[in-house]
Amino acid sequence: MSTLFIGGKLFDSTGSVREGLGVLVEDGRIERIDEAKAFDGHDGTSVDTSGGTLLPGLIDCHVHLCLGGESNLRADGMSDAHLVLAALKRAQATLAGGVTSVRDCGGKDYLEFAVRDACNRGEQVGPTIRAAGKMICMTGGHGNRIGRVADGPDEVVKAVREQIHAGSDFLKLMATGGVLTPGVNPEDAHFTFEEISAGIGEAKRFHRRTASHAQGTEGILNATRAGVDSIEHGIFLTDECVKEMVERGTYLVPTLAAGYRVENDDELVASLPPFVQDKLERIRGGGARSLKMFYDAGGRVAMGTDAGVPYCAHGDNALELAYMVEAGMKPADALIAATSNAADLMALDETGSITEGFVADLLVVDDDPSIDINKAAMKEHHRMVVKAGAIVQERASSSR
């Protein structure tokens, strides 16, 4: 079965917007990109993109499918069976919101693996999922309630091996404290350099990429110097952090959506535990400031939201684009962060770009999002979401 997307603009993930082209999808892949006139006489299904833009499906490099955005973090308040079903529903809401691939940065007892496998095999409709398994943290560290606790280099290595044995696609190590764990400070480094180096080195030995929850400066530097692929959050970046990350090609996944609503709504803040409220005051605005520093220095940014943490909803992931632009990124660069850069970070070799031979994960939006980012960030401007060539969400009849 073939589908031709024709009539509108095309965003090619290099920052350029092209016109006058048609994109032919065949058996779930992009078969041909050519001038529109080359498709005269096409007798298969056509999608008229006139007045809009065809772009790659968006990619979110930081979600938690086992969390549902509740203020009390109810990951362990449901039975395993109900949690798996809830995680699948969240993955499907994410896909309907224009995000065709996600990286799950920490689940619960590997329950999210069932959702990953069902979606990746096509047994259930959903985004492509890469999953870290259990977050690896120190005793009493951020995420210890559902993470894999490890102390000392040897134990961290063992924890990495356990995740790989369980089927993790990549590894996540907690370099600092965080906001949502009582008794820890986001500013404090947790794993020592030796510990996190051992974990990252072991992951690399088995060809796995790594991500590090890293909010405080010392922890960011530890993870960066140890060779981590991405710094998640990066709230307290300094010039030294930025310089070393840029030199090493380390990605920043800013997850501005994680705090955006609560930073701008005092009523929501009041609904959170007092220990969270205290830490929110200390980090307020830090993520946006750090992103601007890093972006201005030429650093590599990949989109991530932290969907699943309080008031950060699965399905609204695309709003991160607007938050990144508000922080100082150009719209085209935010789109690159959410497509080709995110695909590169996640090692998705056949998606993230509208390229012949690539998987046809696509999004059709109104107007030109490289000029007005809200056309991609806000779901009401999404005309159609396509996953592996199949239309999975459609605002109104766009086919003929």
Residues 320 and 380 in one domain: no
Q: Is the pLDDT of residue 77 over 80?
A: no
Q: Does pTM surpass 0.85?
A: yes
Residues 71 and 6 in one domain: no
Q: Model confidence over 34-55: pLDDT tens digits?
A: 999 999 989 889 999 999 999 9
**CB atoms near residue 145 (< 10 Å):** 14
**In the chain, how many domains are there?**
2
Percent of the chain past pLDDT 70, that is, above it, reads: 98
Q: Model confidence over 206-244: pLDDT tens digits?
A: 999 999 999 999 999 999 999 999 999 999 999 999 999
Q: How far apart are CA 78 and CA 6, in angstroms?
A: 46
Residues 217 and 366 in one domain: no
Residues 236 and 307 in one domain: yes
Report yes or no on 400 lying in a domain. no
Q: How far apart are CA 172 and CA 131, in angstroms?
A: 9
Domain carrying residue 361 = 2-55+353-394
Residues 201 and 212 in one domain: yes
| Helix 153-166 with 193-205: angle, nearest 10 deg | 30
Residues 51 and 197 in one domain: no
Q: Give the per-residue pLDDT at 262.
A: 87
- Longest CA span, the chain: 67
